Amino acid sequence: MLITRLLSGIVLLAIVISTGILGGPVFWALVMAISLIGMFEFHRMTGTHKSGMFYLGQVLCLALNGLLFFGKNELADLIPVVALLAYMAVYVVRYPKFHAKDIFTSYTGFVYVAVLLSFLYRVRMEENGMLLLWLVFIGTWGSDTCAYCIGCLFGKHKAFPVLSPKKSVEGCIGGVAGTALIAGIYAVCLNHFVEGVTVSVLVFVIIGVLASVVSQIGDLAASAMKRHYEIKDYGKLIPGHGGILDRFDSIIFTAPIVYLMVQIFVL
C-alpha cells in the first residue's frame, strides 16, 4: 500500500509540475479536467451527482474555464453571479423537484471546486507565472510536509481532537514556520539565479505564512465535509490517495490566496 501510494504520488506530482512548466493549453486542460472530476466527486458525496444540478455545474465549469482560456477574465469573474442566477432559475422552473438544500449545495460545490481551482490557471498565466505557481505548491505540499515532520517529532497537544486527531498544535505551527522559511529561500534563489527576476523576500515569506494557514484550513474543511457525509475518501481515482479532491483539497484554498497576494504586491 505504501509503495502504491508513493508511486502514484510521484506520477501525480510529475504530471502537475510538467504541465505547470508547459503552461498554456496543456495546463489549462489539466486544471479543467481536475475541476470537472472534482465536481463529480463533490456531487457524488452529497448525493446530487445524478440530478440536473450536477450537469448544470459541469456546463458552468466549462464556461468559466473557456472564458479564462480565451483571456476573458472580466467575464469569467461574473460566472459565479451567473451561476447563482442559473441555479435559482432551475429551482423555480422545476419546483418542487429540487429542495433548497440541493441548490445551495450544488452552488457551493461549483464555487468550492471549479471557481477556486481556476485560480491555479490564473496564477500560471500571470507574468512569470511558472515561478509564481511554485508558491502554490510550496504553500500546500511544503506546509503539509513541514507540519507532518514537526508533528511527528514534537507534537504533544491536539489541535483538532474531534476533526483530525493526528494534527497537533506543534505540527500546525511547524507547517507555517517551515513554509515561510521555504518561501524565503525560494525568493533568495530567484534573486540570485534567475536573470531579470527580482522579488521581495519579505513578501514571499508573508505569502508563505498565509498560504500555509489557508492550506491547513482547506485540508480540515475537506475532512469536516467527509466526516459529515460519513465517507473516508472522495473517490478511488488515485491509488493510495483517494480521489482528486483528496489530493487538491488544500490547493483549492491556496491558489486563490497566492493569486490575491500577487495582485496586491504586483509581483
Torsion of CA 185, 7, 26, 235, to 10 degrees: -110
The reported pTM is 0.92
Mean pLDDT of the 106-128 span: 96
pLDDT digits (tens, 9 = 90+) for 184-200: 999 999 999 898 888 99
Tell me if 240 sits within 8 A of 249, measured CB to CB: no
pLDDT digits (tens, 9 = 90+) for 134-174: 999 999 988 998 998 999 888 888 988 888 888 999 999 99
Q: Count the Cβ atoms, other than its own, within 10 Å of residue 21.
A: 12
- What is the distance between the alpha carbons of residues 263 and 225, in angstroms, rounded to a whole number? 31
Greater model confidence, 69 or 164: 69
The DSSP call for residue 249 is: T
Distance of CA 104 to the CA centre of its chain: 21
Structural domain boundaries in the chain: 1-122, 126-267
Residue 126 phi/psi, 5-degree rounding, is -70, 165
